[in-house]
């Protein structure tokens, strides 16, 4: 990372978010490890980054709340300067067949997986526009591209995130800002527990992915080298969606 500034990774106390925070730190980004409730795990992520000579802080914030989002960015800016990379990773699952999903299960998943990403993206963009540089990477899912029964709310949130990615990318492309998404398939995280439904057997690579493999793709999309890559969705699924 050659430009002054820092990166925020939402929901980065564990899983793909934690791996992404660590990966960005190895690329030279000072990283804000965001969490909602698991302060201990976030502190462990920060400690691992610092052990590798990286710079990081943990900041608790509920990114569904625009006021807390502003406070998150304010803390990042105070500690490290302008936020020039944003990874929207915070996510949740509340599964069930469509006739069984209640309004709360629908609204909660949409709010955390999609609306929160809008709040953080909106807050990130004005400083990025002023500096004519920015990297936004949204962690979507192949479920936003293909059906997975029992996850209509999750699929809607991730499909919406992909649509937002493409639209915002076009809006800001002339100002040196890229907006992309990664769409992981079956990855070994707590969030994916119980979702395989025989999916693992259909993966051409014949294995489940790792958080670090997704993080490597995010790191590239956040790099200087990815300046001409925007509005795209990079699937990280072992060939499942091929």
Residues marked as catalytic = 154
| Measured CA distances, 102 to 24, 65, 160, 186 (Å) | 38, 22, 20, 26
The Cα 8–Cα 56 span in angstroms is: 10
Work out whether the CA dihedral 24, 28, 29, 32 comes out positive or negative. positive
Q: How far apart are the first and last CA of the chain?
A: 32
Tokens of 4: 């002054």
CA dihedral 32, 87, 44, 73 (to 10 degrees): 20
Q: In what order do the strands lie in the sheet with 31-35?
A: 56-60, 31-35, 6-9, 83-88, 134-139, 177-184, 233-236
Tokens of 206: 């014949």
CB 36 within 8 A of CB 11: yes
The Cα 92–Cα 209 span in angstroms is: 19
């Amino acid at each position: 990372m050659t430009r002054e500034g820092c990166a925020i990774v939402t929901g980065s106390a564990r899983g793909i978010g934690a791996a992404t925070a660590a990966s960005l730190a190895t690329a030279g980004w000072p990283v804000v490890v965001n969490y909602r409730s698991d302060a201990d795990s976030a502190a462990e992520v920060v400690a691992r980054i610092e052990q590798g000579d990286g710079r990081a802080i943990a900041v608790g914030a509920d990114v569904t709340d625009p006021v807390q989002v502003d406070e998150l960015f304010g803390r990042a800016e105070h500690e490290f300067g302008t936020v020039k990379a944003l990874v929207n990773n915070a996510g949740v699952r509340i599964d069930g067949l469509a006739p069984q999903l209640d309004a709360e299960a629908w609204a909660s998943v949409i709010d955390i997986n999609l609306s929160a990403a809008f709040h953080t993206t909106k807050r990130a963009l004005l400083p990025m526009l002023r500096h004519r540089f920015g990297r936004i990477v949204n962690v979507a899912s192949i479920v936003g591209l293909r059906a997975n029964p029992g996850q209509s709310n999750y699929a809607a949130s991730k499909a919406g995130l992909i649509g937002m990615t493409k639209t915002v990318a076009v809006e800001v492309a002339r100002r040196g800002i890229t907006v992309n998404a990664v769409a992981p398939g079956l990855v070994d995280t707590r969030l994916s527990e119980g979702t395989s439904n025989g999916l693992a057997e259909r993966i051409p690579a014949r294995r489940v992915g790792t958080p670090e493999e997704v993080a490597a793709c995010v790191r590239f999309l956040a790099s200087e080298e990815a300046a001409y890559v925007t509005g795209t969705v990079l699937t990280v699924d072992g060939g499942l969606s091929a």
